[in-house]
Amino acid sequence: MSTSSPILIVGSMAFDDLDLPSGKARDVVGGSATYAAMTASVFAPVRVVAVVGDDFPEHVLIAMQARGIDTRGIERANGKTFRWAGRYDQDLVHRTTLDTQLNVFADFRPRLPESYRDTPFLLLGNIHPGLQLDVLEQVRSPRLVVADTMNFWITGEPTLLASMLKRIDVLIVNDEEARQLSGIHNIRRAARDILARGPKRLVIKRGEHGALLFDEEGVFAAHGFPLEDEVDPTGAGDSFAGGFLGYLATQSDVTPLALRRAMVHATATASFCVEAVGTGKVGVLARDEVSARVADIQKLYEFGASTM
């Protein structure tokens, strides 16, 4: 841990109402920054910039601090915390957003504490792209900027999103978002189109199937870990991003090989998220559990030398 570089994460902190095949869960603590911070803190010190309302439980912030997460950048505003509601299909693959209430996010302007501005690794979690740009204005020469986004912003804020894309090193989206952003169905061609818009590298998540990395070396595939018990995929994408950047923060250089290893650590980390409702698992995740799952994922590819 002592050799890991700090990571700055900006994103949402939320209450989620989830309709899962196993039943309904209400007022579940979630949000892109929450999931990403909890998972990144498995690897490295984390600083969070976000806003919560006066209804957000203090014990969650205390639990985050106990995991080495610096919460001084989390503003507590008067009003209600951001709220999101979603319904999953029986297969847990497709989900429908039922409701998004920005609440305290509507007036939020991120203000980075001075001590956060030189953080070397930056994760612009899923949040209004205008706020992602605000944060980019306040940091001083980060080593790596990774950004996440979603359909809500792709359709709602295309111009600001386009400006954001020009200023980042890695964009992480899922396959549906990649198709929506590019207007191209074929994933490889969609990736080429998105890379031409600015990001130096692109990660396309494919749910239980893992994720693809497109970079200067070509394409790399990291398989998802086939789980026996899938409970709640909410936050798996943010946990992927947290694991990805968390692993990179343990490395001295962001090389193509380090990026490939980060991809496998990210799919391993995200798989834990799905095993419990909300942050039930990622809030207590340990590094050796991630390492064991990385080893299990590696076994998925071992098929000996090709004889053909």
Binding site residues, ligand AMP, CB under 6 A: 12, 14, 16, 30-32, 84, 100, 126-127, 150, 152, 234-238
Tokens linked to 176: 């549906």
Chain-centre distance of CA 37, in angstroms? 9
Helices (H), the chain: 32-40, 58-66, 129-138, 151-156, 158-165, 175-182, 187-195, 236-248, 256-274, 287-299
Q: How far is the CB of 253 from ligand AMP (least distance, A)?
A: 28
H helices then E strands: how many in the chain? 10, 14
7 or 236, CB closer to ligand AMP?
A: 236
Do 292 and 248 touch, CB atoms closer than 8 A?
no
For ligand AMP, give the closer residue by CB, 120 or 152. 152
Smallest separation (angstroms) from ligand AMP to the CB of 303: 31
Closest CA to 203 of 155, 262, 279: 262
For ligand AMP, which is the closer residue by CB, 208 or 238? Answer: 238
Name which of 16 and 70 has its Cβ closer to ligand AMP: 16
The least distance separating ligand AMP from the CB of residue 285, rounded to whole angstroms, comes to 15
Q: Judged by CB, which is closer to ligand AMP: 55, or 217? A: 55
Residues 6+ apart with CB under 8 A from 241: 36, 123, 125, 146, 148, 172, 266
Minimum distance, C-beta of residue 205 to ligand AMP, in the bound complex (Å): 9
Which residue's CB is nearer to ligand AMP, number 33 or number 112? 33
d(CA 74, CA 76): 7
| Closest separation in Å from C-beta 295 to ligand AMP | 25
The one-letter amino acid at 276: A
Q: How far is the CB of 34 from ligand AMP (least distance, A)?
A: 7
* CB 61, CB 34: distance < 8 Å: no
Question: Is the sign of the CA dihedral 73, 271, 85, 202 positive or negative?
Answer: positive
Task: For ligand AMP, give the closer residue by CB, 103 or 234.
Answer: 234
* Least Cβ distance, residue 77 to ligand AMP (angstroms): 16
